[in-house]
Amino acid sequence: MHIGDGLLSWTWPIYYIITIIALYFALKWARENLDEKHIPLLAVMAAGIFAIQAMNIPIPWGTSGHMMGAALVAIVFGSPWAAVIVLSMVLLVQSFFGDGGITALGANIFNMGIIAGFTGYGLFEALKKPIGRFPAIFVAAWASIFVAALAVAIELAIAGTFPLDLGLFYMGLYHAVIGLAEGAITVVAILAIQNVRPDLLPWGKGGS
């Protein structure tokens, strides 16, 4: 899902502006909500996401497919802003290793941090009561990667990189499948945290 340099044409500054604004609010959230108990968890999650994103599946026309982790972070920390912070750190480091372009960094954070984080967290909050917490986690994680993948296809079509219909087909198809693994891993990871340190989860602190 990483977009490389040169694929966004004239549109890349737009995503930088959006991302900078989002990072302002994400850092504001961090100052107000993160404590010494959660900062190590944030760092561990960043390292884990860096590792799982290293497993890339090539997709035609210059991008790739992989698991993401945005929904996991957003749900564990009870805020999509946490996903924005973690994915920004991960993607910044990856960009220096050629995994995603420097000019496309704003767009990659926009897709994998902002869109995926807010999609995953929003769906989890909407579905946890109707279908149950862990089914909601699975659906939210699946949707987070699927919606972000469609966003990439739309952005590259706007930039004139490749046709919208083919982009939606390939990105949607690949990530609909990858999303199944994303959902399963997210459920397993949150179950593990709940079993070992339930106090780190929003509902382990008396939340819903």
CA separation for the pair 149, 155 (Å, rounded): 10
Look up the domain containing 111 and give its range: 9-204
* Amino acid, res. 69: G
In a domain, 183, yes or no: yes
Asked if the structure places residue 4 within a domain, the reply is no
CATH number, residue 199 = 1.10.1760.20
| pLDDT one-digit tens code per residue, 162-202 | 899 998 998 898 889 889 989 999 999 999 999 999 999 99
Report in angstroms the alpha-carbon separations of 134 from 37, 44, 69, 174, 191.
24, 22, 16, 24, 9
Q: What percent of the chain has pLDDT over 90?
A: 69
Which pLDDT belongs to residue 73?
96
Higher pLDDT, 55 or 164: 164
| Residue 127 confidence (pLDDT) above 90 | yes
pLDDT single digits (tens) 74-101: 999 999 999 999 999 999 998 988 878 8
* pLDDT the model gives residue 170: 87
Identify the pLDDT of residue 38: 87
Q: Does residue 1 fall inside a structural domain?
A: no
Number of domains in the chain: 1
Alpha helices, DSSP H, located in 39-131: 39-52, 70-77, 80-96, 105-109, 116-131
Which of 18-32, 77-91, 143-157, 193-207 comes out lowest in average pLDDT? 193-207
Is 90 exceeded by the pLDDT of residue 105? yes
Residue 80 lies in a domain: yes
| 3 found inside a domain | no
Determine the pLDDT at residue 118: 98
